Structure 1
């Protein structure tokens, strides 16, 4: 009788191990989830605009900041600095910095945070005030498509 209990226990352990190996995960090991969206200005894609997603209520100097550069079609994909693509679940404030054409960020990379006043902002820093953000977003565990941000002067 002990050998049958032992066989059942081994079978259960193998079954559980199999589930752990083959069940896919939505997030990665850094607790980041895919985040995409679109940024529009006067009906056109805000190409080259840089977005910074900061955890709501946290000090952006200390917490993880997710960022993205808006592409030719107006879309963006968030990355969290050196941790990879995506962002952790939570409530975020969003600031936008859109450099003028002659100083635009090129390509889809994780941008370094510009210093306020370093380069001219097309939006005159209207969306670049961390203490009074005009945009917010919620990121959940899973795939996220943020509603479009429609910027104005």
Structure 2
């Protein structure tokens, strides 16, 4: 009985390690996109949530979601798969939401300090294109609370 169990466990272990490993998830080539946000001519002093939305045709087979939070001084690097990796080539619009960070819930809440001026793609005027093989510097993006 003991030998049968040992043989059975050996076969199971061998079959687990001899199976082919799953394929790596599909990732698109990304290119760096950076910029800086100011609010009413000043550094924001706390993070602003940035969402990057593709204005072109949606890739239903391999969709991506890109965005980031700015640093306290307003600088940012957009991300798709890992922090600061950039975004795939295409045409985009940025949305911005600036809420208070709640340390207890580790999330953002309360009213949008930008008064929802930039929270929807149809409201935002911050549009740009990413070209294959080239980093994109969006420069200074001036937002306002007034």
**TM-score bin (small chain):** 0.5 to 0.7
* CA distance, structure 2, for counterparts of residue 30 and residue 66 of structure 1: 12
Q: How big is the alpha-carbon RMSD for the aligned residues of Structure 1 and Structure 2?
A: 3.1
Q: Gaps spanning 5+ residues in structure 1: where?
A: 1-28
Structure 1 match to 2:119: 128
User: For the Cα contact (< 8 Å) 2:98–2:113, is it kept in 1?
Assistant: yes
Give the Å deviation of 1:57. 4.1
Moved over 6 A (4+): none
Give the Å deviation of 1:68. 1.3
Structure 1 match to 2:55: 56
**What TM-score, normalized to structure 2?**
0.64
Q: Whose helix proportion is higher, 1 or 2?
A: 1
Structure 2 match to 1:147: 139
* CA distance, structure 2, for counterparts of residue 69 and residue 151 of structure 1: 15
**What TM-score, normalized to structure 1?**
0.62
* CA distance, structure 2, for counterparts of residue 57 and residue 37 of structure 1: 22
Q: Gaps spanning 5+ residues in structure 2: where?
A: 1-26
Give the Å deviation of 1:102. 4.8
* CA distance, structure 1, for counterparts of residue 111 and residue 86 of structure 2: 28
CA offsets 1:55-103 (integer angstroms, 9 cap, x no match): 01456x99422111111222001111xx222101111011101113557
User: For the Cα contact (< 8 Å) 1:49–1:98, is it kept in 2?
Assistant: yes
